[in-house]
Each structure stands twice: as C-alpha cells, then as structure tokens.
Amino acid sequence: MIIETKSLSKIYRTPASEVVVFEDVNLAVSKGRLIAVIGPSGAGKSTLLHLLGGLDEPTRGTVLFKGSDIFRMGSTDLAKFRNRHVGFVFQFHHLLPEFTAVENVMMPQLIRGLGKDVTESGAKGILDRVGLSHRLDHKVGELSGGEQQRVAIARALVGGPELLLADEPTGNLDHRTGETIFGMIRELHAEKELTSVIVTHNDRLAVQCDEVWQLDAGTFRRE
C-alpha cells in the first residue's frame, strides 16, 4: 500500500463544545489507484485530504506513507515529504498573482533547491503537456479559470510526486471546462503512474474513478 490510515480521527474541541469531523477511519490505497471521495458539505472530505498530505494533524490515529507514519516526522522532514512526494490541487488554485504561469510552476522546484535553468525547463515541459505552451509568460489575471487550474495541475506535478491529492479541482469551473480538466487529470494520473485521491461533489466524475469512498455524518465507507 502506498498510503494507509489507522483509526484516523479528527475532532475540534472548544471549552464549550466538541465537533467530531470523523472517527476511526481505516483505509488503504494501492499504488496506481484513482480514488474519488464524495459526501455532503461539512462531512470532512477536505480534512481527510489534508491529513493524507500532512497539511493538518489528526486528533488521534496514524497516516502511513509506504509504511512510515508521516506524523512522526519533524516539521522539516514533513515539509520535504510534501514537496517531494505529494502534489496538491485545490478548488481555488492559490496561484501567486504577481508571477507568470511558468514562474508559478517553478516554485516547488525552487523550494527544493534546484537551479533556475532546471526548474524553468521542467516547468515549461509540464505546461506544454497541459496545453499552455503559448501562455507561459502570462500572469494569473490574464488567464481564464480553466487555464489557471491547468497551471495549478502543472505546479502539482512538476516535481514528479507519487501521490496526487485534489480537492474539488473542477468545483469552481463551468460544466464543460470541469469535464475537460477532470479528463486531463485522469490522463496524467495514468501517464505519470500516480496514486490519486480526488474530492468531488460531482457523481458523474466520481464514477469514472477506480473506487468511490463516502464520508457522511462522521463515518466512512466504500461505495
């Protein structure tokens, strides 16, 4: 298994209340699988994705990546894990508006410490793959919503991650553009031999995945 959880729970506590997002989620993902996570708003889908990628910490339980508990890593090693092994795509692309498409895609590799020539070459290559070779020097505000999400996908994949985590990657797009973007994600998933977990409200997209998981009322099940 490339990623597993054991008794994974997330609970928010305040002096006045306790909110259980989910409890005792046990799952295992084989290498190469394309997983859809569905469920109503507030069910904890995004929280689960953040825990799988080490962006948030569980209340209890473990997340294992290739058998190693990611939350036993120190903060520096956890940041390296995210940079080297995980690609994130969000509903809102979180691109840096002051930079061009190619500069945004270069960021993860620059953070890794690679030189400008290497990072620029890699960024241009993956942008070409997602159909944006003609938009390299355009800033974020000059790109359409679909183009911005293509840049975000390129940024997620430029470092050669093994795990792709996508949180509603088509949720902010019109139907036709969303279908195109999802089709691209499926192509890249297969082409780059990724393991992918995608949160979506779109049942039509979910059924195109290898497995469908549902989170609802704090419980987890496979469809």
The CATH architecture annotation of domain 33-42+74-222 reads: 3-Layer(aba) Sandwich (3.40)
Distance, CA of 121 to CA of 132 (rounded, Å):
14
Whether the predicted pLDDT of 116 surpasses 90: no
Q: Give domain limits for the chain.
A: 33-42+74-222
pLDDT in tens, 15-30: 888 888 888 999 999 9
Note the pLDDT of residue 175: 86
| Residue pLDDT, tens place only, 35-71 | 999 988 888 899 999 999 999 999 999 999 999 999 9
Residue 67 buriedness (CB in 10 A; 0-12 / 13-18 / 19+): exposed
User: What is the per-residue pLDDT for 215?
Assistant: 85
